Structure 1
Amino acid sequence: MVKKVLVDVDCGVDDAQAIMMALAVPDVQLLGITCVHGNTCVENVCKNVLRVLKVCGMLQIPVFKGVSTPLLGNTLNAGHFHGEDGLGDAPDPDAPGLELLQKEGAMSAIIRIVNENPGEVSLVATAPLTNLAMAVKLDPTLPQKLKGLYIMGGNMDSRGNTTICGEFNFAADPEAAYIVLNEYLCPTYIACWEFTCYSKLPWEFCDDWLAQDTEKARFMKRIFQHSIDSCYSERVEKELVAGQGFISCDSYAMAAAIDDSFIIESDHKAVTVELSGMHSRGMMVVDHLEMLQKTHKAYIMRKVDLKKLKQLFMNSLK
């Protein structure tokens, strides 16, 4: 059976890895890619998605431009990690132009695609959740028509990577994350920041993955080098530091969407987002004591099949 997937990205290197993973699975139909602010400005995000689709020979997949700023507050970016352009600042004189973007906006596209495929679409969100928050405000019935929502974002132990207690995607638009976690009452699966750190792959695997003799592998090595040089290569011996192993945060959410058996263990808890704390704004709140009295609960990934993840990665660059 074909799995229909819609992806919302702020295309940095790990978003690119997740997209390429999905494109390599024969029974996955990527219905479209919507773009939003985050790792870089939304114009760069759009360019980056088109670059990824070009190297994969899949420029026929529609790409939609979305929101350029969060609902409230200041815009963040992750240029220190992903490069200022989001893809490692690797030159690409033959990159596709923005004229290839669809005229339709991202929110409209999300609503239309889900309505055209009721109960069939898995929505994978690997970015700040601004597009999704605005879409549900335009169409409050949207979530009930989704097959599932897969999010990379938030945290389960209040350990941040952008603020003291905030993970980047949620910290970049706390209000949007709050709206999505409280109004998307569909099956929801979350790959949190700390979970991805605990589920890293060996560097030796990353070396083998990038060493494949294909144009896709050479492309990935070019765009990934900035992150390897700036962060991973230090390999400092600290808890929850990415340098201890290869992590592609967004790929965990994508793998869960395209392989139903990928998640081995999860917590089923109500969640929300802190909006007003001095040090905890943007932190995901996990309701272990059931004090929120919410009937809708999310599946928070705890353990996944890393062998399957490795195979998905290897296939993505073949």
Structure 2
Amino acid sequence: MANKLMILDVDTGVDDAQAIMVALADPNVKILGITCCHGNTSLENVLKNTLRVLKVCNRLDIPVYRGCATPLMNHKINAGDYHGKDGLGEVPDPDAPGLELLQKRKAAKALVKMVKENAGEVTLVATAPLTNLAVAVQLDPNLPKKLKALYIMGGNTESRGNTTVCGEFNFVADPEAAYIVLDRYTCPTYIAPWEFTCRNSLPWSFCDMLLAHDTEKARFMKKISCFSRKKAQSADYQKEVTEGKGFNSCDTYAMAAAIDDTFITESDEVAVSVELQGTYTRGMMVLDYMDLLKKKHKATVMKKVDLEKFKQMFVNSLK
């Protein structure tokens, strides 16, 4: 099978780390570069965390780019209460790679360049707030036409928030960027929303089995995920999730769908947008089932996936 060319846009917390490792483990995936964005933690931490993941996978050859440190207009937020203040479970590595390994080119410009050089072949997987993507399309309005596909972890379908009353973290972290991306990226677009990931969570027993593997990667993942696992299993967090109170690696659903076209087993095709104004609904994803927005471009919103394939991807990623 021909290589799938990918660019990953991340805000590396624990689930981004898992998603990156799943992509690295697939022999049919070639990662052209990783662009980093504010989000789960500060941009500086995201950069360090991304390099840590690449180091444990012996893939420091993959270019990493510094992206946006702040949202376009929004107040900056983070997910330190879930991922830890540093984004990777507050278990620092004294031997972590230094930021001198970063590429000199900034993320948005790098994104435009990589896509232009591989027009029609690149799949972009976005698991962070969409700030870098919004800036990139401002630099090159024709960028979406050159993409093969875009996969997003973000948004929600039933106004069940995990950050605000009605909003999912990635979209709430930069609503204007999410609005721009859903409006201007007219390439085939696939979205893994918050409630969907909750309903398709994996059993904690699988997580235990996965992290019991005697490999460097498994030990790394066990160490960095301890903080977020305690949070996920807490009584307060259990009230937040919709259904399926198990191991929910949100970002990895978008990655798995990008890797395997048959991963999605049920979805909706619908035009989507983002609410920018509401007192309680700012950052909420809007699904236009009545076609009132008259948008020609429709996104594929994931509803169900092949969880057995998902499990195998996780197992492969920690070998």
Q: Which TM-score band (shorter chain)?
A: over 0.9
Give a deviation string over 1:238-267, Cα, whole Å, max 9, x none. 472588200000000000000011011110
Cross-structure match for 1:79 = 80
- Is the aligned partner of 1:93 residue 2:94? yes
The letter of the residue matching 2:15 is D
Per-residue deviation, 1:237: 6.0
Matched residue pairs, number? 318
Cross-structure match for 1:152 = 153
Cross-structure match for 1:317 = 318
Mapped contact 2:130–2:177 kept (Cα < 8 A): yes
Task: Provide the C-alpha distance between the structure 2 equivalents of 1:239 and 1:38, rounded to a whole number of angstroms.
Answer: 20
Cross-structure match for 2:300 = 299
- Is the aligned partner of 1:124 residue 2:146? no
Cross-structure match for 2:274 = 273
Cross-structure match for 2:205 = 204
Mapped contact 1:8–1:34 kept (Cα < 8 A): yes
Task: Provide the C-alpha distance between the structure 1 equivalents of 2:258 and 2:67, rounded to a whole number of angstroms.
Answer: 22
Mapped contact 1:136–1:142 kept (Cα < 8 A): yes
C-alpha spacing 1:60/1:239, structure 2 compared with 1 (3 Å): closer
The letter of the residue matching 1:317 is L
Per-residue deviation, 1:91: 2.0
Task: Provide the C-alpha distance between the structure 1 equivalents of 2:242 and 2:263, rounded to a whole number of angstroms.
Answer: 24
Cross-structure match for 1:167 = 168
C-alpha spacing 1:243/1:190, structure 2 compared with 1 (3 Å): closer
C-alpha spacing 1:235/1:242, structure 2 compared with 1 (3 Å): farther
Task: Provide the C-alpha distance between the structure 1 equivalents of 2:97 and 2:306, rounded to a whole number of angstroms.
Answer: 36
C-alpha spacing 1:312/1:75, structure 2 compared with 1 (3 Å): same
Mapped contact 2:199–2:242 kept (Cα < 8 A): no
Task: Provide the C-alpha distance between the structure 2 equivalents of 1:230 and 1:269, rounded to a whole number of angstroms.
Answer: 33
Mapping for residues 167-186 of structure 1, pairs under 5 Å: 167-186=168-187
Give a deviation string over 1:275-304, Cα, whole Å, max 9, x none. 000100000000011101110000000110
Long gaps (5+) in structure 2: none
Cross-structure match for 1:66 = 67
Mapped contact 1:14–1:249 kept (Cα < 8 A): yes
Mapping for residues 23-62 of structure 1, pairs under 5 Å: 23-62=24-63
Cross-structure match for 1:190 = 191
Cross-structure match for 1:213 = 214
Mapped contact 2:269–2:301 kept (Cα < 8 A): yes
RMSD of aligned residue pairs (Cα, Å): 1.3
Mapped contact 2:199–2:244 kept (Cα < 8 A): no
The letter of the residue matching 1:186 is C
Identity %: 66
Q: SS of the counterpart of 2:58?
A: coil
Q: SS of the counterpart of 2:162?
A: coil
Cross-structure match for 2:12 = 11
Task: Provide the C-alpha distance between the structure 2 equivalents of 1:243 and 1:301, rounded to a whole number of angstroms.
Answer: 16
Per-residue deviation, 1:230: 2.5
TM-score normalised by L of structure 1: 0.98
Name which of structure 1's ranges 242-251 and 264-273 shifts more when overlaid on structure 2: 242-251
The letter of the residue matching 1:288 is Y
Mapped contact 2:91–2:224 kept (Cα < 8 A): yes
Mapped contact 1:232–1:242 kept (Cα < 8 A): no
C-alpha spacing 1:237/1:230, structure 2 compared with 1 (3 Å): closer
Task: Provide the C-alpha distance between the structure 2 equivalents of 1:150 and 1:269, rounded to a whole number of angstroms.
Answer: 15
Per-residue deviation, 1:90: 0.5
The letter of the residue matching 1:188 is T
Give a deviation string over 1:180-224, Cα, whole Å, max 9, x none. 000000000000000000000011100001001000000000000
Per-residue deviation, 1:231: 2.7
Q: SS of the counterpart of 1:286?
A: strand
Mapped contact 2:200–2:244 kept (Cα < 8 A): no
Task: Provide the C-alpha distance between the structure 2 equivalents of 1:313 and 1:244, rounded to a whole number of angstroms.
Answer: 18
Per-residue deviation, 1:136: 0.2
Task: Provide the C-alpha distance between the structure 1 equivalents of 2:244 and 2:238, rounded to a whole number of angstroms.
Answer: 8
Mapped contact 2:189–2:299 kept (Cα < 8 A): yes
Task: Provide the C-alpha distance between the structure 1 equivalents of 2:297 and 2:265, rounded to a whole number of angstroms.
Answer: 21
C-alpha spacing 1:270/1:118, structure 2 compared with 1 (3 Å): same
Cross-structure match for 2:224 = 223
Q: SS of the counterpart of 1:189?
A: strand
Long gaps (5+) in structure 1: none
Per-residue deviation, 1:98: 0.3
Task: Provide the C-alpha distance between the structure 2 equivalents of 1:241 and 1:274, rounded to a whole number of angstroms.
Answer: 21
Mapped contact 2:37–2:69 kept (Cα < 8 A): yes
